[in-house]
Amino acid sequence: MLFVPVTLCMVVVVATIKSVSFYTEKNGQQLIYTPFTEDTDTVGERLLNSVLNTIIMISVIVVMTIFLVVLYKYRCYKFIHGWLILSSLMMLFWFSFMYLGEVFKTYNLAMDYPTVAMIIWNFGVVGMICIHWKGPLQLQQAYLIAISALMALVFIKYLPEWSAWVILGAISVYDLVAVLCPKGPLRMLVETAQERNEPIFPALIYSSAMIWMVGMANPARHAEPTNQDTGTFCLISAYNPLALTMLRGVKLGLGDFIFYSVLVGKAAATGGDWNTTLACFVAILIGLCLTLLLLAIFKKALPALPISITFGLVFYFSTDNLVRPFMDNLAAHQFYI
Amino acid sequence: MTASVFFGCTFIAFGPAIALFLFTIARDPLRVIFLIAGAFFWLCSLLLSSLVWFITVQISNKESSSQQKGLLIFGVVLSVLLQETCRFGYYKLLKKANEGLLMLSAEETMPISIRQLAYVSGLGFGFMSGAFSMVNILADSVGPGTIGIHGDSQHYFLSSAFMTMAIVLLHMFWGVVFFDSCEKQHWWSLAVVVISHLLVSCLTFQNPQYVGSLVPTYIIVFLLGLWAFFCSGGSLRNLKLCLTCKDKDFLLANHRPR
């Protein structure tokens, strides 16, 4: 169910990282959320800088999430909608234009501006319609996977090395806290949405079920009270507040897609070893399985990041440092285990 | 070192496994989950064995190449034993999970039988084992270079591909036989599985004399295939019915007319 989209997103990110060198080139540019550089003299300084970067990044995410929850509580739907539309506009037009440009550069394809304008215009407009209004479910799913992959690629390019790993760890802790604590912002968001019997913003979640199409049009419209019964299955993530009681189908926040892909993409970017990438991929999928199992047992909103990211990080570091020399030696002698 | 080598070796190594996956596992999400869990357990066993090997290498004499080779052989044997231990652990977990699954699902009968689980978990082990052995080699085969330029064997890629295919199929057969012998408490057949795994790995110590390693390995593949076939309920009669499309149970299960 959720394996196919998560796998697809990761495959797109890994394929891009391995072929388009733009996303692995570091030219000193960093996001404003991670101002401390990692080009320091000592290891201790580098570690300190990455921890500081993480603190800033996580605080920005916390502030934005709390802001979103406050807006939702006071029913400022137009503001939230405008914000979501602006961010998806940027993803669908600007980032995909950059991506297309880099792909053309990598494969040395000549292209003219009018053709690119047509392509990007069509891609973007259909994406906006599918995500924010109505469209075929599979097309909407494809667009959500595409923007998650683009966002993950941006993170992989602009986050410095050590900061990225520390941020991944910190954000899974934040996810755990925000969803499970009684005063956590994401939990409050879900409970408010449940009280008002409303579906949450389609731009932020990936849904695997058909029924979602009914609730997509206008979140201010009250859904039927029959929504309340069995099977509330949803997974929440830190970066995106998430959904609600649905009759069938599992939902996963786009932030989960993004951070899974960041982890696998970074594993693919650092070092040419495919074993590490494969190990992280399997670890994340197992984490997702376990989370879905817990979801089936507890039947309430759960954070999707902690288990997967923990497994992913453990397997990344151990495969890179322990398994890689072992497998390299075995391959050199052609021994098989 | 061209695209044809890359595609050829990929399809040799993973062709049967991918075909099995697409035709029997891909449609059922439960089987996919158990496949990935099997792959995960293999990965855990590899991690443990690499950890032990790494520690022994750190405390050994790094200059002496014969000692390093000895440690590598020790690593291989340990890895095989740990893999079989993890397979046993996975079996125990699946038995426990069976009861849990029965509670969770609404139906009366098991959604997946222990034989299907044996097949799926064996294939999961095989996929991961094959992938870890082969993927780096495949990635290198796309790029520029000359194989065996320093006097090593010219057939490195091809032999690796064939060995990987054997290993993938073997893991699947070992999975089936292993679970079956655990179910029936035939500990001697369990021992035979472990010994055959050790034998196959130890045969590869002869590489690059590929005749000594590949030929016996394929004989073992064939024999274990037969054993797994008979273990999982196959017989000559079943085979004949299946091949002539007259097996009623199979046709019914796949909703096909006679």
- A77-114 pLDDT, tens digit per residue, is 888 888 889 988 988 999 999 999 999 999 999 999 99
Residue A28 has pLDDT above 80, yes or no: no
Tell me if residue A273 is catalytic. Answer: no
ipTM of the complex as predicted: 0.91
The DSSP secondary structure of A57-115, one letter per residue, reads HHHHHHHHHHHHHHHHHTT-HHHHHHHHHHHHHIIIIIIHHHHHHHHHHHHT----HHH
**pLDDT in the model for residue B107:** 64
* Residue of B44, B72, B155 to mutate for A, most A C-beta atoms under 10 A: B72
Q: How far is A296 from chain B (nearest CA, A)?
A: 8
The residue of chain A nearest to residue B166, with distances taken between CA atoms, is A336
Q: What is the pLDDT of residues A242-285, one digit of tens each?
A: 322 233 467 888 889 999 999 999 999 987 689 999 999 999 99
Residues A323 and B47 sit within 8 Å (Cβ to Cβ): yes
Q: What is the pLDDT of residues A284-305, one digit of tens each?
A: 999 999 998 888 888 888 898 9
Q: What is the pLDDT of residues A36-58, one digit of tens each?
A: 888 888 889 999 999 999 999 99
CB contacts, 8 Å: A1 with chain B: 29
- Low-confidence winner among A19-23, A36-40, B83-87, B169-173 (lowest mean pLDDT): A36-40
- Of A291, A284, A293, A286, the C-alpha closest to A261 is A284
**pLDDT in the model for residue A231:** 27
Q: What is the greatest pairwise CA distance in chain B?
A: 68
Tell me if residue A175 is catalytic. Answer: yes
* Dist CA A80 CA B162 (whole Å): 57
Question: Which has more pLDDT, A224 or A194?
Answer: A194
- Of A311, A148, A167, the C-alpha closest to A240 is A148
Residues A89 and A131 sit within 8 Å (Cβ to Cβ): no
Its pTM stands at: 0.88
Q: How far is B63 from chain A (nearest CA, A)?
A: 15
Q: Which of A41, A229, A256, A328 is catalytic?
A: A256
* Dist CA A94 CA A92 (whole Å): 6
**pLDDT in the model for residue B255:** 65
Residue A230 has pLDDT above 50, yes or no: no
**pLDDT band (50, 70, 90) for residue B98:** confident
Residue A208 has pLDDT above 80, yes or no: no
CB contacts, 8 Å: B40 with chain A: 282-283, 286
Place of tokens 């997946």: B112
Residues A280 and A272 sit within 8 Å (Cβ to Cβ): no
Q: What is the pLDDT of residues B107-157, one digit of tens each?
A: 666 778 889 999 999 999 999 999 999 999 999 898 888 888 888 888 899
Which two three-digit tokens encode residue A137?
Answer: 């479910």
